[in-house]
């Protein structure tokens, strides 16, 4: 049906609308107010805020001429116990209607003892909200009249968003959304309308991104085979029960295995939440049928994973191998030969697994731990070794760029928020460097109970350019301080692999009471007996690193402590860590602090095209919309469902604006 504006609206209104690229009534309804003016009757207050007050004119009306034929009217106005001077520009046409003792309602701002009028209500007044559209040649009341006619004329036979999702989030219908935003009765109307449009924009965008990537860049594969009975039997043999979040994450992974194209999934979970056992179950399920690989950023962490998997699979005929730069010669050659002959089910290692001569026979399942430690090219190199493999990345503190990738690309998220039972919250304090002496007593208390302590510093050796603590000086200081009381160890990146293993083994066996280290302990060291973490010059580290360091303690049912020591003027930034110990909240905090420009550069990957969404402020809406978009694509099918016809139409409009650079 023809809904062109010139057919339904007057010539002057239609001409102005067309000049602003509004050609039909649908486009008019989608031209939303730039802002709103709120007219709510209140008592007069002596401030600059916009306010609506009632009262009586108590003086003659004075008219003044200004430059360019501009005129103003002014008078004294009594409101309650106050008498204020009132001025209004461009309303000299009201001169004949205003007189002393006339009761009025006026709206405006009080500034420098003068009330500047925005609006005058001479007749009956009621509280209301006025949308402001800012057309150069049309008054807002003319636009409102045109919108009212458009809303009466148009038919809303089908919804853009399917009914199930409207009910799920209690969102208004298309008709009600336009009513809420163009003719709001309350602030709640405006908020509901905006909430609907934000979600709608997010859902259409997510459908477009994921549909486009799936159809253009994803290869078709056969679902991966596994024996559910054996998997359930394996889970029953685990020395602990799975948390609800772990169960949910496991189920999500097995849904991925049923997919007919490769899935990339990010598993977010705080330190100690049990991400490793989730992927271990997946490794178990696929072993013997397919090959898997687990890559970690440090040898310490990689060996820890290898040991964990070896223990879990000890009673099963699953072949594991370990590969790092320290594995050389004939031993390395033997592992590579086994890999290509499919005599290795799971390879665990460091960056060594992406070396050119490392080849797999049938790699289908890739796990990357601490994924923020690897670059895009490193991840791609490992993926290219597989046969259209599924990719799982693990992170305790996803950096903002990782979070952004989950929104921009076909990356699914599994969150493990619950922690094992009996774990106590780590008591965290931010101290200025003058308070550090008090920590010695606390260390003594922990050491006297047979506990262990970490001390982390930014540098290995003293620097002429930086006034910060270094590992060698702190090691010598504490070695002298605790002579005859406990042994002190030193760990840093310049040590050889065997030296690192020697130190970490001694600490694990409680032969060392204190371990002085650089951030090499950030990942991969799991000492259950350690109860105290001290980070010196903490201002030198980012929030995610500090949170990771805190995660080296609290891996037991004991009360643990973490102290961040910093220069006094730097402490404020770190205070958030005293209250927040949730990796998800810290990631969002970091996201808000940096903003989207930090991830995407000036182009920002098409985000400038959002009309209603703010990438940072509305990140959670984008996350929800992504989940729903994947559900629609996976289970409903855009082409099969008639109820998705309008949504698909809107999605296709977005896809036509994509370029390759906008997606990848």
Residue 310 CA neighbour count, 13 Å, CB half: 11
Per the document, the length of the chain is 664
The mean pLDDT values, 10 residues at a time, for the chain of 664 residues are 83 90 92 92 86 93 87 92 90 87 92 86 88 89 92 89 92 96 95 95 88 75 91 91 91 90 86 86 94 91 91 94 92 95 95 94 93 82 91 76 64 79 84 82 92 91 63 89 90 84 88 90 76 91 84 86 85 83 72 52 47 81 89 74 76 65 34
Dihedrals φ, ψ of 405, to 5°?
-65, -35
CA 283/CA 277 separation, integer angstroms = 10
Identify which of 510, 462, 514, 464 has the alpha carbon closest to the alpha carbon of residue 489.
514
From CA 127, how far away is CA 40, in angstroms rounded? Answer: 5
**Bridge partners, 51 (sequence order):** 108
Looking at residue 112, what DSSP letter applies? T
Residue 601 confidence (pLDDT): 39
Count other C-beta atoms under 10 Å from residue 548's C-beta.
22
**8 Å CB contact between 95 and 102:** no
Query: How much is the pTM?
Result: 0.68
The bridge status of strand 411-416 relative to strand 561-566 is unpaired
Looking at residue 195, what is its pLDDT?
95
Token pair recorded at residue 659: 């370029």
Q: What pLDDT, on the 0 to 100 scale, is given for residue 314?
A: 93
What pLDDT, on the 0 to 100 scale, is given for residue 664?
Answer: 28
**Residue 28 DSSP symbol:** H
HEC assignment per residue over 453-511:
EEEECCECCCCCCCCCCEHHHHHHHHHHHCCCCCCEEEECCCCCHHHHHHHHHHHHCCC
Give dist(CA 21, CA 17) in Å, integer: 7
Partners of residue 456 on adjacent β-strands? 517, 535
Count of CB atoms within 10 A of residue 652's CB?
A: 14
**Residues with Cβ < 8 Å from 435, sequence gap 6 or more?**
565
Mapping DSSP to helix (H, G, I), strand (E, B) and coil, where does residue 528 land?
coil
Name residues whose C-beta falls within 8 Å of residue 192's C-beta, 6 or more positions apart in sequence: 171, 172, 177, 180
Find the largest Cα–Cα distance for the chain.
Answer: 105
For 260, counting Cβ atoms within 10 Å of its Cβ (0-12 exposed, 13-18 middle, 19+ buried), the class is exposed
Q: What is the 8-class DSSP label of residue 424?
A: P
The beta strands (E) that lie in 346-483 are given as: 346-349, 363-368, 390-395, 411-416, 427-432, 452-456
Q: 539 to each of 461, 467, 574, 608, how far by Cα in Å?
A: 18, 12, 7, 33
- Residues 146, 28: contact at Cβ < 8 Å? yes
Give CA–CA dist 175/78, Å, rounded.
43
Three-class DSSP labels, 111-169: ECCEEEEEEEECCCCCCEEEEECCCCCCCHHHHHHHHHHHHHHCCCCCCCCCHHHHHHH
Tokens of 384: 């290219």
pLDDT number for residue 30: 92
Spatial strand order of the sheet with 320-323 comes to 320-323, 346-349, 291-295, 363-368, 390-395, 264-269, 411-416
Pairing mode, strands 363-368 and 346-349: unpaired
């Amino acid at each position: 049906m023809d809904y062109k504006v010139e057919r339904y609206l007057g010539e002057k209104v239609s001409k102005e609308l067309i000049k602003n690229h509004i050609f039909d009534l649908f486009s008019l309804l989608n031209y939303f107010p730039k802002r709103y003016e709120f007219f709510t009757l209140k008592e007069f207050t002596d401030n600059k805020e916009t306010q609506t007050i009632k009262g009586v004119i108590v003086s003659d009306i004075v008219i003044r001429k200004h430059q360019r034929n501009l005129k103003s009217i002014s008078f004294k106005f009594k409101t309650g116990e106050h008498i204020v001077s009132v001025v209004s520009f461009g309303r000299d046409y009201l001169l004949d209607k205003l007189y002393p003792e006339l009761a009025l309602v006026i709206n405006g701002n009080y500034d420098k003892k003068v009330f500047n009028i925005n609006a005058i209500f001479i007749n009956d007044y009621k509280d209301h909200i006025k949308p402001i559209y800012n057309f150069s040649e049309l008054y807002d009341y003319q636009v409102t009249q045109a919108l009212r006619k458009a809303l009466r004329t148009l038919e809303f036979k089908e919804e853009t968003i399917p009914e199930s999702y409207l009910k799920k989030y209690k969102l208004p219908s298309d008709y009600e959304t336009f009513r809420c935003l163009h003719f709001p009765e309350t602030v709640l109307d405006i908020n509901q309308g905006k909430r609907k449009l934000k979600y709608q924009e997010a859902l259409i965008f997510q459908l477009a991104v994921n549909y486009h990537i799936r159809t253009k860049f994803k290869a078709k594969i056969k679902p991966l085979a596994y024996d559910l009975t054996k998997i359930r039997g394996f889970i029953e043999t685990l020395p602990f029960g799975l948390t609800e979040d772990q169960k949910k994450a496991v189920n999500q992974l097995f849904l991925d295995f049923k997919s007919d194209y490769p899935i990339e999934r990010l598993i977010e979970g705080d330190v100690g939440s049990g991400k490793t056992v989730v992927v271990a179950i997946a490794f178990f399920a696929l072993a013997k049928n397919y090959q898997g690989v687990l890559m970690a950023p440090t040898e310490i962490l990689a060996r820890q994973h290898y040991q964990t998997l070896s223990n879990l699979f000890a009673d099963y005929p699953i072949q594991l191998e370990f590969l790092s730069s320290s594995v050389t010669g004939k031993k390395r050659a033997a592992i590579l030969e086994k890999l290509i002959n499919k005599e290795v089910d799971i390879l665990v290692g460091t960056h060594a697994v992406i070396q050119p001569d490392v080849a797999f026979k049938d790699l289908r399942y890739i796990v990357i731990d601490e994924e923020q430690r690897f670059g895009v090219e490193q991840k791609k190199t490992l993926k290219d070794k597989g046969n259209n493999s599924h990719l799982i990345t693990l992170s305790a503190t996803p950096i903002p760029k990782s979070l952004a990738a989950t929104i921009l690309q076909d990356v699914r998220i599994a969150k493990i928020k619950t922690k094992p039972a009996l774990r106590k919250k780590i008591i965290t304090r931010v101290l200025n460097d003058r308070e550090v002496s008090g920590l010695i007593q606390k260390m003594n208390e922990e050491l006297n109970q047979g506990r262990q302590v970490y001390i982390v510093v930014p540098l290995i050796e003293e620097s002429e350019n930086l006034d910060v603590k270094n590992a060698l000086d702190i090691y010598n200081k504490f070695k002298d301080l605790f002579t005859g009381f406990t042994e002190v160890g030193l760990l840093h990146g310049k040590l050889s692999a065997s030296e690192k293993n020697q130190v970490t083994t001694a600490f694990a066996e409680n032969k060392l009471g204190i371990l002085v280290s650089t951030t090499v302990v950030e990942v991969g060291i799991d000492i259950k007996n350690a109860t105290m973490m001290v980070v010196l010059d903490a201002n030198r580290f980012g929030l995610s690193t500090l949170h990771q360091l805190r995660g080296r303690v609290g891996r037991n049912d004991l009360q643990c402590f973490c102290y961040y020591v910093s220069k006094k003027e730097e402490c404020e930034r770190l205070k958030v860590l005293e209250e927040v110990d949730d990796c998800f909240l810290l990631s969002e905090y970091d996201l808000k602090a940096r903003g989207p420009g930090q991830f995407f550069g000036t182009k920002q990957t098409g985000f400038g095209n959002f009309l209603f969404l703010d990438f940072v402020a509305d990140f959670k809406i984008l996350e929800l919309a992504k989940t729903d978009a994947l559900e629609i694509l996976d289970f409903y099918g855009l082409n099969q469902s008639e109820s998705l016809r309008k949504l698909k139409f809107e999605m296709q409009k977005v896809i036509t604006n994509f370029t390759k650079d906008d997606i990848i």
